[in-house]
Chains A and B, each alone.
Chain A
């Protein structure tokens, strides 16, 4: 096992987690005002009507597929009576559809961003950099799915190498040797994915954490008392706190 393997499959994952967690925490603490979808629907509504749901629902399905493939050990699905062949067929089939939706969606969204003047004006440098990482991860993921599926070359059971490596990171018992023996396409996709998570907290992607699930459970009309820090939103500086706070 080379130093490069250690760097890529031990150091980089932990760096990713560290940056992702602390970065998100810091962004939430420091920049709640900037934490938004920054929707551009006001400027253009026809293309976004198709592209945005296609991309978002696609990527949600992709996330679901990753959770299943990476977190659930092969032994569990076997025990549940799901053979490797059947699982593979299902994963590749659903994964390809979801991945294709995502790719078509993001392509349309980028086309829209580039061709619609007001939308393009509303695009920051940060957004552009984010799109590079996002699209790279999506494309590499699709390539990986196709290669791993056996459509090109032999099929590849990533649940024997990539998945256990992924779990080993979180079990604080990293097994870089597993990843080192997987296919190059999986390696490149994994690195692209980690890079995406590293920039995640510093881009508009943070809005994914705000998925408003609690909306389903709260009363319709919200009342709030004028809090002690209202209307100025600045916290009192150290040594200037009010009595009794």
Chain B
């Protein structure tokens, strides 16, 4: 057994209102640059829908992730030789039109147009060609089932379960059942993008399991883009390098949650640690039956309260505060203790580390529309049994098509809802409700605390990068004080793609956290200043 730590996330889909705040703040923080205009490290999809990029879940077409061939794990896109043979032209690479053509508006016309009869209009201009364009697709074009009858049937999941459902139910499904799926990089335990990278530029960080691209080593072979079944590695067409969600590692390292979590309006995201056995990852990913993959993945996650696991973790160099954080981890509780959180598409065999609590609300809504008591445990359980279609659909997303884990998770949520109503109304609680889903009254109550009213500190249990190595995280020089003064945006001699990349300023995050959490006003000149992290408050000391 070799213990490693993994920073993981759980999203409670019941709470997602599809506001895209996570996407927008992530984009502002990470991909508001030329070359990645079309890139959303975080995007929110309406399900059923085609997703971003379009139909990315159709692995018959895109061949992302792993497959079992004669009992051995290999990339679905083929072996190493085949990949090298396709290096000059990757047949599985999505084109820009599979994402969308990014655009801006000709705002200048609004103020510079001559006086005329009609109000001037800001025309959309392509950010790729600079020419006027017709907007025909975007990262969330089918938001809220827009274009439903035309677009939603092309949802690869719907196509997959089509033969199981009749037309009548399908309509019912499209009308009654809709939910949002926020997606970031899964930071998989068995990442197929890393495996596909010919240059060895992609790697999984040993300390926290974050999957990153070494920008100095990436040579732009594009195999990671097609290798990832979630299509969460992107190609920066300006720099010619791959880019992806970094799990906001500069924030995680100082104990702050990611930008998408921090700004989530519904507070539906949880971040914490898993301790897992890295020696067993490949074997788990090579589990024969797809329906057993979820259990195999859960088996990888070690119990941080087990003294043996703790001893092994210490032996493998995991610091004490990290073990403590693992013990308090909300994601461990949701995924392994309560078993309400499920991984997205375990059948891709990448062992994804962003987990989802499937949404119960659509079931409750459907029940309420029929005039029944939608909070009653019996009614909810009955609805879960009869509403097969949503469960089939969710099962295709979260448990490789096996309805049992999804149904079990939803029954727990239903039990919690029903049990807590009695508590809130001051009625006698019914121990039979938790028992019917294999839980105790205490554990249901704890789960309720975690899902409904957990505070910031309970939702985000993120240990800082280990104290002994903390010094190493700090930059040894401010990027402004190089020879010749502020030269941070000076391009290299080979265009904007060349020269040294700008280092991420960790101290800025420290500083901003201090400002955000401090009761008194902290003037900026009292902390180390970096203009890139300036939040617009206070003044920058010019001397």
Which interface class (under 10, 10 to 19, 20 to 34, 35 or more) fits A? 35 or more
Digit string of B487-503 for contact with A (CB within 8 Å is 1, else 0)?
00000111101111101
CB–CB B89/A49 < 8 A: yes
Query: What is the minimal beta-carbon distance from B70 to any residue of chain A, in angstroms?
Result: 17
Complex partner residue of A45 from B93, B130, B497, CB under 8 angstroms: B93
Q: Which residues of B contact A41 (CB under 8 A)?
A: 89-90, 93, 95, 222
- Main SS of the interface on chain B? loop
How many residues from B make CB contacts under 8 Å with A?
71
Closest B residue to A235 using CB positions: B476
CB–CB B216/A32 < 8 A: yes
Digit string of B90-122 for contact with A (CB within 8 Å is 1, else 0)?
110101100000000000000000000000000
Complex partner residue of A34 from B87, B88, B499, CB under 8 angstroms: B499
Q: Which residues of A contact B498 (CB under 8 A)?
A: 31, 33-34
Of B17-25, B200-208, B294-302, the segment with at least 4 beta carbons within 8 Å of chain A is: B200-208
Given A36-B240, A41-B89: A117 touches B131 (CB 8 Å cut-off): yes
Q: In A216-236, which residues have CB < 8 Å from any B CB? A: 216, 218, 220-234, 236
Q: Is A75 an interface residue (CB 8 A)?
A: no
Q: Which residues of B contact A37 (CB under 8 A)?
A: 219-221, 240
Q: Which residues of A contact B267 (CB under 8 A)?
A: none
Q: In B239-259, which residues have CB < 8 Å from any A CB? A: 239-241, 249-250, 253
Of B178-186, B189-197, B384-392, B395-403, the segment with at least 4 beta carbons within 8 Å of chain A is: B189-197
Q: Is B321 an interface residue (CB 8 A)?
A: no
Determine the distance from Cα of A242 to Cα of B198 in the docked complex, in whole angstroms.
Answer: 33
Q: Which residues of A contact B494 (CB under 8 A)?
A: 31, 34, 124, 126, 202
Query: What is the minimal beta-carbon distance from B139 to any residue of chain A, in angstroms?
Result: 15
Query: What is the minimal beta-carbon distance from A65 to any residue of chain B, in angstroms?
Result: 19
Q: Is A78 an interface residue (CB 8 A)?
A: no
CB–CB B84/A221 < 8 A: no
- Main SS of the interface on chain A? loop
Determine the distance from Cα of A202 to Cα of B494 in the docked complex, in whole angstroms.
Answer: 8
CB–CB B89/A210 < 8 A: no
Of B336-344, B370-378, B465-473, B512-520, the segment with at least 4 beta carbons within 8 Å of chain A is: B465-473
Determine the distance from Cα of A55 to Cα of B89 in the docked complex, in whole angstroms.
Answer: 11
Q: Is B217 an interface residue (CB 8 A)?
A: yes
Q: In B441-487, which residues have CB < 8 Å from any A CB? A: 465, 469, 471-477, 479
Query: What is the minimal beta-carbon distance from A33 to any residue of chain B, in angstroms?
Result: 5
Q: How many A-B residue pairs have CB under 8 A?
A: 185
Closest B residue to A209 using CB positions: B219
Q: Is B283 an interface residue (CB 8 A)?
A: no
CB–CB A234/B479 < 8 A: yes
CB–CB A226/B205 < 8 A: yes
Given A31-B492, A31-B499: A43 touches B240 (CB 8 Å cut-off): no
Query: What is the minimal beta-carbon distance from B395 to any residue of chain A, in angstroms?
Result: 28
CB–CB B240/A38 < 8 A: yes
Q: Which residues of B contact A40 (CB under 8 A)?
A: 237
Q: In A5-53, which residues have CB < 8 Å from any B CB? A: 30-45, 48-49, 52-53
CB–CB B235/A42 < 8 A: yes
Digit string of B503-514 for contact with A (CB within 8 Å is 1, else 0)?
111100000000
Complex partner residue of B473 from A43, A216, A222, A231, CB under 8 angstroms: A231
CB–CB B89/A225 < 8 A: no
Complex partner residue of B80 from A36, A56, A215, A224, CB under 8 angstroms: A215
Determine the distance from Cα of A233 to Cα of B500 in the docked complex, in whole angstroms.
Answer: 8
CB–CB B89/A222 < 8 A: no
Q: Is B171 an interface residue (CB 8 A)?
A: no
Q: Is A2 an interface residue (CB 8 A)?
A: no
Q: Is A207 an interface residue (CB 8 A)?
A: yes
CB–CB B477/A221 < 8 A: no
Q: Is B436 an interface residue (CB 8 A)?
A: no
Q: Which residues of B contact A57 (CB under 8 A)?
A: 88
CB–CB B239/A42 < 8 A: no
Given A36-B239, A40-B237, A122-B237: A210 touches B219 (CB 8 Å cut-off): yes
Given A33-B498, A221-B204: A212 touches B87 (CB 8 Å cut-off): yes
Determine the distance from Cα of A31 to Cα of B473 in the docked complex, in whole angstroms.
Answer: 23
Given A221-B204, A236-B477: A42 touches B499 (CB 8 Å cut-off): no
Query: What is the minimal beta-carbon distance from B117 to any residue of chain A, in angstroms?
Result: 34
Q: Is B361 an interface residue (CB 8 A)?
A: no
Determine the distance from Cα of A106 to Cα of B80 in the docked complex, in whole angstroms.
Answer: 27
Determine the distance from Cα of A35 to Cα of B199 in the docked complex, in whole angstroms.
Answer: 12
Determine the distance from Cα of A223 to Cα of B240 in the docked complex, in whole angstroms.
Answer: 23
Closest B residue to A218 using CB positions: B200
Q: Is A240 an interface residue (CB 8 A)?
A: yes
Given A37-B221, A231-B249: A220 touches B93 (CB 8 Å cut-off): no
CB–CB B199/A121 < 8 A: no
Q: Is A214 an interface residue (CB 8 A)?
A: yes
Query: What is the minimal beta-carbon distance from B482 to any residue of chain A, in angstroms?
Result: 8
CB–CB A36/B218 < 8 A: yes
Determine the distance from Cα of A212 to Cα of B89 in the docked complex, in whole angstroms.
Answer: 15
CB–CB A34/B503 < 8 A: no
Q: In B254-276, which residues have CB < 8 Å from any A CB? A: none
Determine the distance from Cα of A122 to Cα of B88 in the docked complex, in whole angstroms.
Answer: 18
Determine the distance from Cα of A223 to Cα of B237 in the docked complex, in whole angstroms.
Answer: 27
Q: Which residues of B contact A34 (CB under 8 A)?
A: 492, 494-495, 497-499
Q: Is A184 an interface residue (CB 8 A)?
A: no
Q: Is B129 an interface residue (CB 8 A)?
A: yes
Determine the distance from Cα of A43 to Cα of B500 in the docked complex, in whole angstroms.
Answer: 26
Q: Is A155 an interface residue (CB 8 A)?
A: no
Given A222-B200, A224-B206, A230-B472: A42 touches B93 (CB 8 Å cut-off): yes
A-B contact pairs, 23 of them (CB 8 A): A31-B492, A31-B493, A36-B239, A39-B220, A39-B240, A45-B93, A55-B88, A122-B237, A220-B194, A221-B204, A222-B200, A224-B203, A224-B206, A225-B206, A226-B469, A229-B472, A231-B250, A232-B503, A232-B504, A233-B216, A233-B503, A234-B476, A234-B500
A-B complex: 3 closest residue pairs judged by Cβ atoms: A34-B498, A232-B503, A38-B240
Q: Give the B-binding residues of A (Cβ under 8 A).
A: 30-45, 48-49, 52-53, 55-57, 117-118, 121-122, 124, 126, 202, 207, 210, 212, 214-216, 218, 220-234, 236-237, 240, 242
